[in-house]
A and B are shown apart, each in its own frame.
Chain A
Amino acid sequence: AAGVIQSPRHLIKEKRETATLKCYPIPRHDTVYWYQQGPGQDPQFLISFYEKMQSDKGSIPDRFSAQQFSDYHSELNMSSLELGDSALYFCASLGLAVSNEQFFGPGTRLTVL
């Protein structure tokens, strides 16, 4: 069965650079969630989209932006990267018409040097 795809799986950036993380949800899933997990921390909700509109917002820095496209994939754009942005970024997708369970992608490990 198809799963949530995240790319890239690993990313290394310098401080003040920009990064773009991509998430491809499971087919027929219309909702995407982004979570950030710092080292030794629990995943924290950043932002979510339903039918290409932002549906909820958590503790997402102003330097970050995200969107969901017409094919339902989502991108998380991170600018002016800081050392503290080093984390595992998870994307999860949900399709209420299919089930009400979120499925997580494998995560993107971002390292900011």
Chain B
Amino acid sequence: AQKVTQAQTEISVVEKEDVTLDCVYETRDTTYYLFWYKQPPSGELVFLIRRNSFDEQNEISGRYSWNFQKSTSSFNFTITASQVVDSAVYFCALSEISGGSNYKLTFGKGTLLTVNP
């Protein structure tokens, strides 16, 4: 069975600090997708990134960057120069592709990030 662990329940930083959100996953599949979603207080799930298990290249998008390491089953997310608007709950999620998994998502428990001015 697939499992996603976000060990950090809450993180609090001061604006302009860099912050890394950790995500560790378990799966028996060799083919899967990893995701990060942002959930602001308004409640909607905002898609941030999807990574295929075959693509271990790190990715940078503006102030966001992602470090995918298959050897340690980790998919960590870093926000550089954090801003108050980054305050939200961040979810890491896994979707198995093979074996009739149907692409359903398994989410981690989420990390509440608070960026203080």
Interface residues of A (CB under 8 A from B): 31, 33, 35, 41-45, 48, 50, 55-56, 58, 88, 90, 92, 94, 100-104, 106-107, 109
Contact = CB atoms under 8 A, between A and B. Distances in A.
Contacts of A102: 95, 103, 105
* 5 closest A-B pairs by CB: A42-B107, A56-B102, A104-B45, A45-B104, A106-B44
A5 to B, nearest CB: 13
Contact of A104 (B33, B47, B102, B106): B47
Contacts of A104: 37, 44-45, 47
Nearest to B103: A94
B44 A100 contact: no
A24 to B, nearest CB: 16
Given A42-B109, A104-B44, A48 B104 contact: yes
A101 to B, nearest CB: 6
A50 B100 CA distance: 12
If over half of A's interface residues share one DSSP class (helix, strand or loop), that class is named, otherwise mixed; here it is: strand
B104 A56 contact: yes
29 contacts: A31-B102, A31-B103, A33-B105, A35-B105, A42-B107, A42-B110, A43-B105, A43-B107, A45-B106, A48-B102, A50-B102, A55-B102, A56-B101, A56-B102, A88-B43, A92-B105, A94-B103, A100-B33, A101-B47, A101-B50, A102-B103, A102-B105, A103-B47, A104-B37, A104-B44, A104-B45, A104-B47, A107-B43, A109-B43
A107 B44 contact: yes
B64 to A, nearest CB: 18
Nearest to B100: A56
